[in-house]
Amino acid sequence: MSDSNVLGPFVERRVMKFFYNSPLRRRATLSIFNDADSISLNVVKLCFLLLHPSSNHATINVRVLLIVSLFSFCPAAKVGKTSLIMSLVSEEFPDEVPLRAEEITIPADVTPERVPTHIVDYSEAEQTDEQLYQEISKANVICIVYSVNNKKSIEKVTSHWIPLINDRTDKDSRVPLILVGNKSDLVEHSSMETILPIMNQYQDIETCVECSAKNLKNISELFYYAQKAVLHPTGPLYCPEEKELKPSCIKALTRIFKISDLDNDGVLNDNELNFFQKTCFNTPLAPQALEDVKNVVRRNMTDGVRDNGLTLKGFLFLHTLFIQRGRHETTWTVLRRFGYDDDLELTQEYLFPLIKVPPDCTTELNHNAYLFLQSVFDKHDKDRDCALSPEEVKDLFNVFPYMPWGPDVNNTVCTNDEGWITYQGYLSQWTLTTYLDVQRSLEYLGYLGYSIIYEQESQAAAITVTRNKRIDLQKKQTQRSVFRCNVLGARGSGKSGFLQAFLGRNLQRQMRIREDHKSYYAISTTYVYGQEKYLLLHEVMSDFDILSEPDLSCDVVCLVYDVNEPRSFEYCAKVYKECFLDSKTPCVVVAAKSDLHEVRQQYSQSPLDFCRKHKLHPPQPFTCNTTEAPSKDLYTRLTTMAMYPHMAQADLKNSTFWLRASLGATVFAVLGFAMYKVLLKHR
């Protein structure tokens, strides 16, 4: 006889019938809230919808990843464990029972949870201790069978089997145990009074099932609970001693609640509860069913329902109740839908979905991503001032395991007079992250629940990978929205001031920036021919000898020199000739600190002559030492050159060209802000 026996078609049909006609499945809806509270039939129906998403078995299959799940039977002196296996297969009590049953494989399509199951029988008479230890190490769940009419077999559960199993398994990865009381047909009483203290003493025990191989009582329940112990373990969720959810479970469910609380008012209203229900279980709820659930919470706690909505405490209470009623697969379904693994950590597959970015391509957020981020901003901008205060930023990132934005972000994007990140600055920072580190952006969107709220397969649906830049040059047009400008110059030439001026900060405001809060990036919007584009400025370190490929790779180059420092331009000339002389990347020379006295540069050519020789624009005067916000005209020019690198220098020098671009920038900036204010009033 072979060591493993896969059920044949005839036996499969019998086992399937045994599982699906099981009293467990018929009784399931009646045992969820079967306590002192009197629950209407509607609530029972509601709980069935919540706890039995039977149409969603494919999701369970993907989540579990138990292709070769195994559970072993450890005997305690002729208790009938082999009879249990044979009764399951034959659907009748065997006349002759061997010392050990062969290993049996139940195919995935036969079992309710849609996972293949291997049943392994162990016999002390036929097998060695070493074979037992090997089976324990391979098992995913172990059923310890005792006889309800034999006190010694019950005592052996704690005196022998549990200590032996614990000695052979790692403390951090204990195998779940199920106590099986067989031969219930021989007694009129239950062994539960004896077993309950044992279950309370050992956290690894998932449940206890009393059954009878002779009467076929609870046979399918036993194997159902064995699967359930692996697929939906209680251990990570609930502490039986304290009778409450574990901290990691509370943390995960709190994040889920906050994501589902779409208006951020601290309660889940009927629309949000229905959205949550459809997201997790693909089934809407009737209004009366929603009301019945809230009534269950009201009867058990005073602050579980507020303004006719479910509070976080009420939400956690429901999940505690599910677990206490043995229906923890409900909580697991919710957790896995929101990206959690069996250790209640967000999976790598959820946070970092696969996305391919070919060379010379960039990554940007698409329209739906910006709409989502706008909704997140609106959700947390409680005072409706179009800016996020430090408290509002903290609340926004409360669903993250860490604070992703440091104080340098406030010096990377636009802020209001109080230094708070504005709506435009908020979107700009997301744009910057997506451009520089798309994996980080995917991770952040995952924490916020983008794929769940927008019903997408993953956060990758929020990303647009632009086409190769060489194709843009060939076609002389681009579909990109983000352009990078690397800013190079000698130390002290005014690069940092140039970046901060782009964010509307004059010299006086810049002087208040702390050195440890300094940023080497600045990003904001400009308008070219009425099109809103993002310009990303990157200040490159002044050490010429260590310039890297990313320091040189960009859409436009800005070479900054200090008009008041005689050796400042030499650095710009050297960088241009060494790195950009034969490059197709457009370059602009900026004469910074133009409000100061201009001195003669100690270089073989004046900056103007140098630019003429190399067919560059004349040096562009710039200063941030102004009473108002510095002009953005120069930044519009940089964006335009980045968009149209193929255009002849003569065209770019044309004053009419720049007038049209600048006028478009002004008009669309005013219109854009006005439209946002109007939309804000109607939220």
Least confident range of 28-37, 267-276, 408-417, 494-503: 28-37
The distance from CA 39 to its chain's CA centroid, rounded to whole angstroms, is 36
Q: Does 583 fall in a domain?
A: yes
Instruction: Give pLDDT, residue 82.
Output: 65
Which of 33-37, 576-580, 582-586 comes out lowest in average pLDDT? 33-37
Q: CA quadruple 591, 593, 598, 601: dihedral positive or negative?
A: negative
Using alpha carbons, select from 250, 260, 246 the residue that is nearest to residue 337.
Answer: 260
Between CA 327 and CA 224 the distance in angstroms is 13
> pLDDT band for position 76 (50/70/90)?
very low
Q: What is the pLDDT of residue 475?
A: 87
Do 450 and 596 lie in one domain? The reply is no
| Residues 663, 646 share a domain | no
Look at residue 153 and tell me if it is in a domain. Answer: yes
DSSP string, 476-532: T-----EEEEEEEE-TTSSHHHHHHHHTT--HHHHTTS-GGG--SEEEEEEEETTEE
Domain count, the chain: 4
- The larger pLDDT score, comparing residue 320 to residue 170, is at 320
Both 138 and 14 in one domain: the answer is yes
Mean pLDDT over each residue of the chain, to the nearest integer: 81
What does the pLDDT read at residue 32?
Answer: 29
pLDDT tens track for 105-144: 777 776 666 777 778 887 777 778 888 888 888 888 888 8
| 533 occurs within a structural domain | yes
Q: In terms of domains, do 632 and 674 share one? A: no
Q: What is the pLDDT of residues 537-559, one digit of tens each?
A: 999 987 766 677 777 889 999 99
| Domain presence at residue 304 | no
- The answer to whether position 120 is within a domain reads yes
Contacts of 443 (CB under 8 A, 6+ apart): 351, 352
Residues 71 and 216 in one domain: yes
Statement to judge: residues 77 and 174 lie in one domain: yes
Look at residue 668 and tell me whether its pLDDT is greater than 90: no
Q: Are residues 518 and 447 in the same domain?
A: no
Residue at a domain's end among 187, 213, 231: 231
Which of the residue ranges 326-330, 626-630, 659-663 has the most confident prediction, judged by mean pLDDT? Answer: 626-630
Q: Does 3 have pLDDT greater than 90?
A: no
pLDDT of residue 231: 83
d(CA 535, CA 538) in angstroms, rounded, equals 10
The whole domain housing 662 covers: 658-682
| Least confident piece of the model among 165-174, 364-373, 426-435, 570-579 | 165-174
Three-state helix/strand/coil letters over 109-155: HHCCCCCCEEEEECCCCCCCHHHHHHHHHHCCEEEEEEECCCHHHHH
Q: How confident is the model at residue 96 (pLDDT cuts 50, 70, 90)?
A: low
Where residue 505 sits, what CATH number does that domain have?
Answer: 3.40.50.300
3-state secondary structure 561-604: EECCCCCHHHHHHHHHHHHHCCCCCCEEEEEECCCCCCCCCCCC
pLDDT over 80 (residue 679): no
Range with the poorest average pLDDT among 46-50, 214-218, 555-559: 46-50
Check residue 45 and give its pLDDT.
26
pLDDT score of 571 more than 90: yes
Q: Which residues contact 446 (CB under 8 A, 6 or more apart)?
A: 339, 346, 350, 351, 352, 459
Inside any domain, residue 160: yes
Characterize 514-552 residue by residue with b for buried, 16 or more Cβ atoms within 10 angstroms of its Cβ, and e for exposed.
Answer: eeeeebbbbbbbbbbeeeebbbbbbbbebeeeebeeebb
Confidence of residue 258 (pLDDT cuts 50, 70, 90): very high
Between these two residues, 270 and 674, which has the higher pLDDT value?
A: 270
- Predicted confidence (pLDDT) per residue in 613-623, tens digit: 999 999 999 99
- 385-422 confidence digits (pLDDT tens): 999 999 999 999 999 999 999 999 999 999 999 999 99
* Sheet strands side by side (includes 177-182): 4-6, 103-106, 117-121, 69-74, 141-147, 177-182, 205-210
Which one is predicted more confidently, 21 or 473? 473
Same domain (yes/no): 462, 479: no
Mean pLDDT, to the nearest integer, of 649-656? 48
Residue 527: per-residue pLDDT? 93
pLDDT on residue 19: 43
pLDDT (tens digit, 9 = 90+) per residue, 462-511?
Answer: 999 999 988 988 888 899 999 999 999 999 999 999 999 999 999 999 99
* Pairwise CA distance, residues 179 & 161, whole Å: 11
User: What's residue 47's pLDDT?
Assistant: 33
> Which of these, 510, 468, 469, 494, lies nearest to 623 by C-alpha position?
494
Residue 73 within a domain: yes
Least confident of 56-60, 212-216, 430-434, 522-526: 56-60
Question: Which of 231, 261, 285 is at the close of a domain?
Answer: 231
Residue at which a domain ends, from 200, 231, 262? 231
Mean pLDDT of 163-178: 81
Examine residue 269 and state whether it is found in any structural domain, yes or no: no
Nearest to 191 by CA among 141, 240, 224, 152: 152
**pLDDT single digits (tens) 51-63:** 333 333 333 322 1
Are 566 and 454 in the same domain? no
- The verdict on 154 and 81 lying in the same domain is yes
Residues 440 and 504 in one domain: no
Instruction: Provide the β-strand partners of residue 305.
Output: 310
**CA torsion angle for 607, 611, 612, 614 (degrees, to 10)?**
140
The answer to whether 560 touches 495, Cβ cutoff 8 Å, is yes
Examine the domain organization and report whether 155 and 224 are in the same domain.
yes
